[in-house]
Amino acid sequence: MTASTDPGGMPPPEDDEPDLTGLSQEELRAAYEAELARVRVEDVLVQTVVSLLNLAARKAGLTGADEQPDFDQVSTAIDATRALLPLVEPTLGPEAAQVREALAQLQLAYARSGAGAAGGAPPGEDEGAPAAQPGASGPAQSSGRLWVPGQ
């Protein structure tokens, strides 16, 4: 055992973290209120995005965890991350590229899973685009393949 860990194996509290052991309810409440006063909304949003990406990677089966993939959860996490990304990019600065890369990897895993094929657009697709009219005919509707103008 080193001096850098306590007997439970946990690292000691950082210098700016108060020791809350033995405090009364009122003292704990005051410490909690003081911590809330220090926290910024941007920090919570960044932590939320990171948590969503980590959880979605696990739910997509990208972490090696021994659990069944849940692509409905992956889809929700992708949508939520896409919604929050414009809010956190200024806070992240150059590190926003890592978040965008992780999001792209999740979108790729989702697309490869075929989960979006059963219904609805894959996460990240423009759901505001006009849908094909029932009974409409055209190269995309008749062949089931992607239509490319001029081909």
**Domain housing 74:** 45-117
Closest CA to 73 of 61, 53, 58, 59: 59
Does the CA dihedral 55-61-62-65 come out positive or negative?
Answer: positive
Q: Within a domain: residue 40?
A: no
**Residue 83 pLDDT more than 70?**
yes
Q: Within a domain: residue 11?
A: no
Q: Within a domain: residue 74?
A: yes
**pLDDT of 97-136, one tens digit each?**
999 999 999 999 999 988 766 554 555 554 444 444 444 4
Helix (H) or strand (E) holding 13: none
Band the pLDDT of 72: cuts 50, 70, 90.
very high
Q: Within a domain: residue 72?
A: yes
Look at the chain and report how many structural domains it folds into. Answer: 1
Kindly state the percentage of the chain with pLDDT values over 90: 54
Better-predicted residue by pLDDT, 13 or 83: 83
**pLDDT of 27-42, one tens digit each?**
999 989 999 999 999 9
CA distances from 55 to 23, 40, 60, 78, 109 (A): 34, 23, 9, 10, 14
User: According to the model, what pLDDT value does residue 22 have?
Assistant: 86
Q: Within a domain: residue 88?
A: yes
